Structure 1
Amino acid sequence: MKSVVITGLGAVSPYGAGLVAYWKGLAAGVCTIRDLTLIETEGFRCRIGAEVPGTPAGSARRTRADRLAIAAAAEALADAGL
């Protein structure tokens, strides 16, 4: 089995973009569960969740999920000093 080393962290979460926002929200016990606004909930029994606010800048050809993942990866690379 190969070892894995985590050298940097990045986060996008319902608390906002970045590790600082994530840790502050988590430590404060802030509940981010609200009525969902970013997806259509008609036909589903559950209409609440914890959505990630905002959409990072980037290519219009990328999906919102792509841009969120790229933002988290970029933060992890910067955190690692790479």
Structure 2
Amino acid sequence: MLREWVILESLDLEKILIIALISASPIGEILIAIPIGVAMGIDPFVSYIIAFPSNMIPAAVILSILDLFEERYPSISRY
């Protein structure tokens, strides 16, 4: 596990951002982000470490927005 963190620290920020943005996009998802990371020369496990949390970010944002709407408009929770 330590080896992966050392590899992650040595990566370019550009490569990390590319994988994270592709993974966070609705079209990209993890199925495309991990192979692109491997094609850029990144270890598959490290690519997964970057892609998986990035894929969860949009879901967390959407759920928090829904909670805000539910607090503001209680009639939404009936549906």
Structure number with the bigger relative contact order (C-alpha 8 A, sep ≥ 6) is 1
Query: More helix by proportion, 1 or 2?
Result: 2
Name the larger-Rg structure. Answer: 2
Give the TM-score, by structure 2 length: 0.25
Give the TM-score, by structure 1 length: 0.25
Query: More strand by proportion, 1 or 2?
Result: 1
